[in-house]
Structures are given as structure tokens and as C-alpha cells.
Amino acid sequence: MSETQPKYFFNFSFFKIDPKWRWMADLAKEESAKELENVLLNSPVKCRTYSTLGLRDDADLLLWFMSESIDDIQETISKIYLTVVGKYFIPSQVYLSSTRPSIYAKKGTELSFVTGNEPKKYVIVYPFTKTREWYLLPMEQRKVMMDEHIAVAEKYPQVVLNTTYSFGIDDQDFMLAFESDDLHAFQNLIMDLRSTKVSVYVKVDTPMIVCVKKDIIPLITSLG
């Protein structure tokens, strides 16, 4: 991504569903899911929808938004809360980040979400923060360590990384979103990355949240 290309905000909104939702009639649930789908289809914000049902105790679904405008993201979320099912949504984690060129990766690298590539079955989302000591190292020293880090990642072409930046707009430094059709490959990648020199400078890389790609209507109807 070059400086002349559009910059996007990413919003990762995780929700719990109010247990009262499960007592609604099935027909009402289906109509509510269609209402929510209509909001997302007519929004200027791009959205990918994922299920975390049964995988964590603090979230049932993820709405992953991308837009050049924070105002549009807020307006879309406001419209979601006005839907029938939106009244049962309880936000559990919300992360904000933005795209920008990497100072370490190859020039011209585009994020999968930005380019509109077909989503993979899983996305693993987590906030990431490095220690202050990392930023005090000379750039050349950091680049050598990051080259090692990148070389390990390139051994796993089936895992696609979306790195966005949260400096100054959220608590973490970065938001990482790894896409893959194979969770074992992602697990192997993380285990290999633990042995790189950069890992010494990791301060926070949790929670790691596994999300399963699901269209919005089956996602909503799966909630019980």
C-alpha cells in the first residue's frame, strides 16, 4: 500500500447475544436476520461476518468493518442496534485500527480485505503491542529481526495476514487478523514465530479470537 492509496479504518466489533433472543419464535428470528442483512447490504461500509459461537465465553459473533470513514462505521452500527436482533446485541470487545504502509514488508503489499479477496474459512483476530524497548532500537537492527520474522511467515503461504495500525486511536499498537482455511497451519506458524528474536519484544498478543466465516442469515439463525 502506497501513501497515495486510500487509507481505511478497520473496526472489529464482537458481540454476545442476549439469552432472551433464544426464546423468540423461529419465524421472527428469520425475519430479523433478513432485516440485519438488508442494513449491511445497503451500508457504504464493507463488512465481513463471523461466528465465534461456542469457541469463547465472551463473544458469539464478529462484525468486521472496513471504511474510509469512521462516521460511516458509527452510522452502520447505529442502524444495526435499531434492528430487532440488534436490540439483543451486547458488545463484548471492540477494536479500532487503520491501514498504512509497512516499514518492514515488501512495498505494494495489499491487505486481503482491502483488495476484496474471497475470505478464508477462519480469521484469527488479536490485538498486538510491542515493548517500548523495541521502538528505541536502531531501525537497521529492527529490520534485521523483522526480516527473520517475515521469512518464517512466508513458509506458510496458506495463512494470509491483515496487519492494521492502532497507534493513537486504540489501546494496542496493531490489530492482527490472520486468515486461513487450516487452523493447524496457523498454530504451527505461531509456534515457529515464538522462536524468532522479535518475540522477545512482544508485550501483549491476547486475546486471540478464532472466528468462523458465516453469512449473516445463517449466522443469526445459528444463535439459538
**Structure confidence by residue, pLDDT tens digits, 159-178:** 999 999 999 999 999 999 99
**The dihedral of CA 57, 60, 64, 65: what is its sign?**
negative
Region 9-98+212-221: CATH code: 3.30.70.1030
Tens-digit pLDDT profile for residues 116-151: 889 999 999 999 999 999 999 999 999 999 999 999
What interhelical angle do 70-82 and 26-41 show, nearest 10? 160
17 backbone dihedrals φ, ψ, rounded to 5° = -100, 130
Between 104 and 76, the higher pLDDT residue: 76
At residue 4 the predicted structure's pLDDT band, cuts being 50, 70 and 90, is: low
Provide the CATH topology of domain 121-210: Alpha-Beta Plaits (3.30.70)
Cell numbers for 188, please give them.
504451527
Structural element, H or E, at residue 32:
helix 26-41
Helices (H), 90-215: 112-115, 132-136, 139-153, 183-193
Tens-digit pLDDT profile for residues 39-95: 999 999 999 999 999 999 999 999 999 999 999 999 999 999 999 999 999 999 999
Q: How does 52-86 read in b/e, with b if 16+ C-beta sit within 10 Å? A: bbeebeebbbbbbbbbeeeeebeebbebbeebebb
Question: Residue ranges of the domains in the chain?
Answer: 9-98+212-221, 121-210
**The dihedral of CA 147, 171, 123, 111: what is its sign?**
negative
Distance CA(66)–CA(144), nearest Å, equals 32
Query: Quick one: pLDDT at residue 3?
Result: 54
Average the pLDDT over 165-194 and give the result. 97
200 CB-contact burial (10 Å; exposed 0-12 / middle 13-18 / buried 19+): exposed
Query: Quick one: pLDDT at residue 108?
Result: 53
Instruction: Count CA within 13 A, CB hemisphere, residue 54.
Output: 5
Same fold, 9-98+212-221 and 121-210: yes
